[in-house]
Structure 1
Amino acid sequence: MTPRLDRNTLTVKDLSVEFTADGTIIRPVDGVSLSIRAGEMLGLVGESGSGKSVTSLAVTGLTDYTGGRVVGGSVHLEGTDILSLASRQRSDVLGRDIGMIFQQPMRSLNPTMRIGNQVAEVIRRHRRLSKREAWNQAVEMLDRVRIPEPHKRAHDYPFSFSGGMAQRVMIAMALACQPKLMIADEPTTALDATVQARVMDLLRELQQDLDVAVLLITHDLGVASGYCDRIAVMYCGQIVEQGSTSDVLMRPTHPYTRGLLDATPIRGSRERLLPIVGNVPPAADLPSGCRFHPRCQLSVPGLCDRMLPELRLDETGCGDRCLHPESATTLVSGVSTG
């Protein structure tokens, strides 16, 4: 299914989040803007510590429960201002209009409840159904995510499920009320490569069938390349490049994106992987100027360490946050997007 061009399901503008740690105010998300259309999957990629998960918490309005607070920007879900909702209204939106899939399903599932009851609980929370009706719908969802013998497995507890099957349960819970937006935060991190592909294939199939907008958070460019329609690259709390998957992977214009690609294995290639020198700096100790300049091979002293570049987007929504993006493009070699 081709993403619909008539409307955005999710629109985030200039989102900023702050935390206070040991008396110091840090901003792990700083001026993030992104949008996702119905039937589209946007990949938010970057190293650990880039601010991807904090962004997802802000989108759902859950930063208050983690000690953070949104200090700027807006989040709209089909016109509804998520950040302005009262706590009760926000709870109504979560689960009904926004589904969440987390990276460690065993930590998200209640070990004392049967699987069927956990899915049915989500359904009853947002729909006026009897216990029996909710149970039947829960079994149908387990069948839809291809849990073998769903009528039987619905009575089992989480400990009897493998990691891949447990993640299928999480997908069933996220889609149980047919949400408008689904956020998948590193949904395949704890799974081996074969199971990872099966889970992502299932997620993509259901997303297209139900015409759901998906925000996929991942550090794996290989996963993003195979399933996302568009990619936004995040570094130090900011979007540094975004565009269609083919544009970002084949014609990257930001040195950080280029560095991620050089460190990503390409099927059939024997080229040596090149790591990005250094680490993501802590949010409490960000460098001056461009936040990537201490690790960038194209950094120009007196320029990149003094000027903080703005995110520049063209009419197609493609662009970057770099003072000399054309230089990064010339470094590109062949990249597989399959």
Structure 2
Amino acid sequence: MLSLAVIGFQAMIAASLVIVRFLGAANNKPDWLFWAAFGWTAFTFAFVFASPLILLQLVVIWGVTAWIRPKDEDAPGPPSKLETLTADDEDWQRYFQHQCESPAEVAFLDAMVEAYILTPEKGRLRGGGLTLQMQVPVKNYRLDFLIDNGLIVEVDGAQWHSSPEAIERDAERDKALAAKGYEILRIPAKVTLYKPDDAIKQVRQARSVWMARKAKARASRAQGADGTFADQKLLTHEPKFSISGLVASVENGLDSFTAGMNGISTDLKQFNERARKWAEEDRERVAKEAEDRKRRLEAEVDAMDPETRIIYDRLMKKLEE
């Protein structure tokens, strides 16, 4: 009977620790589990006098605690390869391509890297005032691409997204993500594969609409209940300070800066294209001049008298040697 009582008491300790673990998780208090374990440990040393029983009880307390402890208490693992990549690393783009799940996603990634001159930074791609993430877990979903933490880009292949069931499933997914404040852009896989420039154009348009919508929402938040804005109230000498107005001003400034950077990126790309064109024209001009000089030299050689031709041939032979 004593052994059954001991087993029952240990089972009660284990059950209490499990209950505390779930209560702590429900209330965002993961440390409750460890406080309960410390409490049982103090109880053991205070009221248990048999040495074997003390050892058994401590094993149960801390064994169960270690088994059911919250995962967020685990030590963080080493950074992934993507998080350590920089623009100086060779073939960094290839590592990001391996994260894609289809050739269409690879094509979209390559087009974005070229259009915005993206480079790796802490597992993300940044450039042209834009941040691009891949395979991002949100809620119960995994996003193909996420731009600036707000614009979702899904690359849809006809095989998986054209059936009525798939269309309904995608609509439910988009509705759930839109409810969390995301903007969703779906691009057919054939567009990213065969018309990547059109895919980039869709991204620019969707991003402009999304940024305009954000700016309008911020303006609405900054507007007071009486219909006036913070700057208008200052003109009436009312001693009021609007945090939302300040935030809106800062974010509008950031949006303007982002738009400016995008313009600079576009101008830089156009300049590079013109520079390549100029270089190609210079190469063609030099090649043409060299060809003309060669023809004139051959004509002059043909017009030489025999003695001069012999001297010329000897000189050319020495130069070749």
Q: Shared topology, TM-score over 0.5?
A: no
Bigger Rg, structure 1 or 2 = 2
Higher RCO (CA-CA < 8 Å; seq separation 6+): 1
Structure with the bigger percentage of helix: 2
TM-score by length of 1: 0.19
Q: As a proportion of its length, which structure holds more strand?
A: 1
